[in-house]
Structure formats: C-alpha cells, structure tokens
Amino acid sequence: MKKNITFNDLGLSDKILSAVNKKGFEEPTEIQALTIPLMLKNDSNIIAQAQTGTGKTAAFGLPLIEMIHADNKDVQALILVPTRELAIQVSEEISSLKGAKDIKTVPIYGGQSIDQQLRRLKKGVHIVVGSPGRVIDHLKRRTLKLDKIEHLILDEADEMLNMGFIDDMEEIFEYTNPDKKTLLFSATMPNRIKSLAKKYMDGYELLTAKKVQLTTDLTEQIYFEVRAADKFGALCRIIDIEDNFYGLVFCRTKINVDQVATQLADRGYDSEAIHGDISQAQRERTLNKFKNKKTNILVATDVAARGIDVTDLTHVINYSLPQDPEAYVHRIGRTGRAGKEGTAITFITPNEYSRLMFIQRKAGSDIKKSAVPMVEDIINAKRKKIDENLTSVQKGTIPTDYYTWAKMLLSENNHTEILAAVLNYSFEEALNPKSYGNVENLNSRGKNLDQQGKTRLFVAVGKKDRMTGKKLVDLVLSKVSMKAKDISDIQIMDSFSFMTVPFEKAEKIIISFQKKGKRPLISHVKKSKKKKKKKKR
C-alpha cells in the first residue's frame, strides 16, 4: 500500500515544519506535494495548473520562505495577484507560515495610501505581494526595485488576464532580474498565458493537479445582502429559525470574534470564541465543549479554525466575507460532510457584491441569493417547536403535584384563558417579535439590486457625447458576450446614462471598460446619502 505523503517528506526545515503544524496543516494537497520539492531545488521555472482552494499559497509560500535570505534587505521575491483582497490574504498567509524566521512581507495595492507603502518599502522588505497597477506605479517612481529578485510568482494568472492586466504583467517582467526563477499559477491555461510563458520563461516544468470537486453538493450555498449594522440581527434570526442550529461563525478579526461571541452570550445563546490570542489549553477546552455539543455556536477566525474536525455541522456562517476564494472553500467545506446536508450562508454589504461574484467564479460554486428570515416566520417556527415539545411530553414523567395544581386551576378558571396565561408566562420573552429589532432586507429593495437578479450601472457618457440607447447596447456587446435583451431600463441623460444588467454580467462589463489611470466609464450606481433636515427653532 502506498504511503501517504506528509510535509516531512517534502524537504522542508524543522523550523518551517513547526510553523506548518501550528497552522493545523496535516497532509499536503496534491499541488503542494508536486510544487514544494521542485521549487526547493531552485533549478527550473515552473507552471502549476491547479484549482482555487487547493492550497496554492502554501505551495509556493513555504519553499519561498526557506530560500529567502533574512540578512539581505533587498526585495528577493515579487508575488503578483489580481486583487487587493488577494494581496492582503497572501501576505498574511506567508507571514503566518514563516515561524521564527525574520522575514518581512508587504502587500502593495491600489486604494491604499501610497505614502504608507513607501515608508514600509524604505525600511526594507524581502517579499512584495502586489496588484499589477500599483506595482508599476512604484517601479516608475523607482520606489520598488526588482533587479535583484530571485523569484517572480504570478498567482491567479488567468484571472489577471481576464481583468485586463496582461500588458501590465509583461511590463513588470521587463524590470526584473533576468536570472530569476518564475513560478506561474493558473487554474486554466488560455493561449495568451501560454504565449506569455513561452516569451518570458526560458523552459519550464509543467505541474498539473487533478481537478477535484471543491465544494460538496450536500452544502447549500446562499448569501444575504444586509447592512453591516444588521449582520448580528440577521445571525440571530438564522439561529432561531432552525430546529437544531450547530455551526461555525467566521469573522475576519480577533476583535470581531470577541464582539460577536459576547453579543451572542448576552442574548442567551450557547456560544464560544476561538482566535489566535487564546491559549492552547483554553482552545482545547472550547473545542471539546463544541464537539460534545455543550455549546452549539463557535465563533472563529480562519486561522484558529484550522484543524477543527466536526462532521455534523448544520451551518457555516460567513459573518465577514472571506478575503479570497480559497478561504471561502476552506470555510464552507466544514459542513455537508459524512453524507449529511449543510448550509453555508454568507453576509455581504452592498459594496461587496463584486467580490462575492469573484469568489463564486473562482471557487466554481453556485451561491444563490436569499432573504433574511422574517420575524413572523421565526415566531411561527418557535411556536411549532413549542407545540411539538408540549405534546411529546410522556405521561408519567410529570410529577403528580402538577396534575393536582392543573385540576385546581382549570376548575376555577376558563380553560382557554388559563392556558393562554400559562403560555404567555412561559414564552413571552422567547416569542416577543420586538426582541429582533429591524433588519433591512436589501435583497427586497428596489434600489440597485432587484428580485430578478439584476443590478443598475452608471455610464459616464450621455447625450452630449452623442450616446443613444442603441449605441450603448452595441458598445457593451462589443466587449462582453451577452444578449441585447438582457440590457434594459436604459436612461440617456445629458452627461451620463444608466442601464440595468444581470448580476453575473455586471462585473465583466465594469472590468472590460476599465482603463488604468482614468475615471471608470461604467460603474455600480452608488447609493446617495440623504441630508438630514435642520429643525426649525
């Protein structure tokens, strides 16, 4: 029988293996087992084809950490990624894998203060993780030098191609050390990526991991669009409408975890929290309580949740949207196990929709829109459960004193009134609709998103630019493959226009019309803030 490969078999040092064990990694994924030993040899370029969610960051991150010279303050590696979220996630992941090794990693991306990035780069960093546009900004300012880098890693290369970064990638290659080793990760291999590799990677090893189903059909995946302030209320509604909720609630930060867990406890829920600041002994006690179902809600960060092996979770709640598709896959993979069905619910705020669609596309998931449970439905569900509990009480299990008491009350009062009084006395708090407060269900509003899965887009040209409805449709169809009938509710104003398109096409349309350094031609309609009227004195 073939022995299972472990991280110990891949040529990693004891220090790095210690960091791997602390992260809760057990066995390497196929792409990790293929990539790590070859990358450690450091004698060839590599193209690795593997799905999102298969541990690609650790596949290149672990050997990269091994090969970095901590005493050399030059930038030794550049990791190019398509989005700011992925830049942050990859940088954090590498930092969490470095163990005691003194390696400095910095993410650089658009939208963050360039002065802040300049200060960090001046202090000296070993690994830069960046989006193409911002990397080029620094190269042109000469605040980032790549002439001495030993490794260039292109992560999600096909996604960078889809987002129009191929020219930027080629430009960045021109600034790099010609003797570097290049590693290109891509889920697919379109011809444009192959030609890029042929031009800039002088010979390479091709590694291909078998395609596997990353998310189980037993897991129903849905999302709710809510305001940030309404997330906790929505969480309580989900917990209460289920018969036997048993789930993990993921938050992005330790502070968020503590806040949510405390709020849940204050509301009377059996909940616990785990994150990086909790001692190992406390972590073990908390996990044992959760596994033994003495608590039914565990609030956690991604890192702290590693190694949790529970097969019968009913729910995974993404209270905070994961940073990238890989984190999403890891989170929701904790339900729908061992032949049991589960539900993965993701909360998004209105400005996170495009990120969710990116995650959906890369994870190969079908995440359906749904509505937060209505208070009336929750109360009805609770009543049904109470009815079942009361009628299922076995005769003989109730002490005789209660029978005597009941007969006395019934003999002296109207039967319906006394039963109503008992129910009110016992369940007034549990069945009080006011305890839930108001959660604005954004999916049901007629603002930017409507019930048919469409969104409203803003176009920065209008009548003065000789734009017409037909011209706008033709313009969109020239860039994005879709049907003309799917573009509706077109309004052409003097200097701008509006149109409504399907959710799944919106992001592609916006990206297709993006031009670096210029105001976006097409963007999501922004919600306007209403000014408060001043009270007359």
232 alpha carbon, distance to own chain's centre: 18
By residue count, the chain amounts to 537
Burial of 252 (0-12, 13-18, 19+ CB in 10 A): middle
Give 22-64 as a DSSP string. HHT--S--HHHHHHHHHHHHT-SEEEEE--TTS-HHHHHHHHH
In this structure, what token pair is assigned to residue 131?
């989006």
Contacts of 458 (CB under 8 A, 6+ apart): 496, 497, 498, 522, 523, 524, 525, 526
Delineate the domains of the chain, giving CATH numbers in brackets.
7-208 (3.40.50.300), 219-372 (3.40.50.300), 376-436 (no CATH), 449-524 (3.30.70.330)
Average pLDDT over residues 293-305: 87
- Percent of the chain surpassing pLDDT 90: 34
Q: Specify the range with the lowest mean pLDDT, choosing from 104-108, 193-197, 406-410, 502-506.
A: 502-506
Distance CA(515)–CA(86), nearest Å, equals: 21
First to last CA, the chain: 86
Average pLDDT over residues 71-82: 93
Contacts of 434 (CB under 8 A, 6+ apart): none
> What is the per-residue pLDDT across 470-480, written as a single tens digit (0 to 9) for each?
899 999 998 88
pTM above the 0.75 mark? no
Tell which wins on pLDDT, 114 or 507.
114
Q: Specify the range with the lowest mean pLDDT, choosing from 211-215, 304-308, 402-406.
A: 211-215
Distance CA(58)–CA(36), nearest Å, equals: 9
Residue type, 246: Y
pLDDT of 517 reads 63
Average pLDDT over residues 285-297: 90
pLDDT of 339 reads 64
Tell which wins on pLDDT, 442 or 382.
382
Nearest to 269 by CA among 292, 301, 300, 235: 235
pLDDT of 431 reads 84
pLDDT of 217 reads 65
Distance CA(261)–CA(292), nearest Å, equals: 19
The CA distances from residue 264 to 15, 236, 239, 279, in Å, are 39, 8, 10, 22
Residue type, 256: N
Confidence of residue 531 (pLDDT cuts 50, 70, 90): very low
pLDDT of 438 reads 75
> What is the per-residue pLDDT across 77-86, written as a single tens digit (0 to 9) for each?
999 998 887 8
Sign of CA dihedral 16, 325, 130, 122: negative
Confidence of residue 114 (pLDDT cuts 50, 70, 90): confident
Map residue 485 onto helix, strand or coil: helix
Average pLDDT over residues 348-361: 84
pLDDT of 105 reads 95
Distance CA(379)–CA(385), nearest Å, equals: 10
Average pLDDT over residues 114-120: 90
Residue type, 344: A
Distance CA(337)–CA(204), nearest Å, equals: 38
Distance CA(335)–CA(298), nearest Å, equals: 13
- Percent of the chain surpassing pLDDT 70: 90
- Is the Cβ–Cβ distance between 260 and 299 less than 8 Å? yes
Element (H, E) at 506: helix 503-512
Confidence of residue 482 (pLDDT cuts 50, 70, 90): confident
Tell which wins on pLDDT, 55 or 215.
55
Q: Are strands 342-348 and 204-208 parallel, antiparallel or unpaired?
A: unpaired
The torsion region of residue 154 among left (phi > 0), alpha (psi -120 to 50) and beta comes to beta
Confidence of residue 309 (pLDDT cuts 50, 70, 90): low
Q: Say yes or no to pLDDT of 244 above 90.
A: no
Distance CA(504)–CA(520), nearest Å, equals: 19
Burial of 50 (0-12, 13-18, 19+ CB in 10 A): buried
In this structure, what token pair is assigned to residue 290?
């959760």
The β-bridge partners of 225 are: 348
Highest mean pLDDT among 225-229, 335-339, 359-363, 492-496: 225-229
- Is the Cβ–Cβ distance between 58 and 97 less than 8 Å? yes
Confidence of residue 51 (pLDDT cuts 50, 70, 90): confident
Average pLDDT over residues 59-63: 95
Distance CA(71)–CA(107), nearest Å, equals: 20
pLDDT of 141 reads 93
Q: Say yes or no to pLDDT of 530 above 50.
A: no
pLDDT of 179 reads 93
Distance CA(61)–CA(19), nearest Å, equals: 12
Confidence of residue 317 (pLDDT cuts 50, 70, 90): very high
Average pLDDT along the chain: 85
pLDDT of 446 reads 39
In this structure, what token pair is assigned to residue 171?
């430009």
Residue type, 3: K
Q: Say yes or no to pLDDT of 533 above 60.
A: no
> What is the per-residue pLDDT across 2-27, written as a single tens digit (0 to 9) for each?
467 889 999 999 999 988 888 778 78
Nearest to 306 by CA among 337, 338, 332, 330: 330
> What is the per-residue pLDDT across 496-528, written as a single tens digit (0 to 9) for each?
888 888 877 887 898 888 876 677 888 877 644
Distance CA(422)–CA(416), nearest Å, equals: 10
- Is the Cβ–Cβ distance between 65 and 97 less than 8 Å? yes
Residue type, 416: T
Average pLDDT over residues 30-54: 89
Residue 226: CB atoms within 10 A of its CB come to 22
Q: Say yes or no to pLDDT of 111 above 90.
A: no
Q: Specify the range with the lowest mean pLDDT, choosing from 59-63, 168-172, 369-373, 452-456.
A: 452-456
> What is the per-residue pLDDT across 411-454, written as a single tens digit (0 to 9) for each?
888 989 889 888 888 888 788 887 777 777 664 433 444 434 67
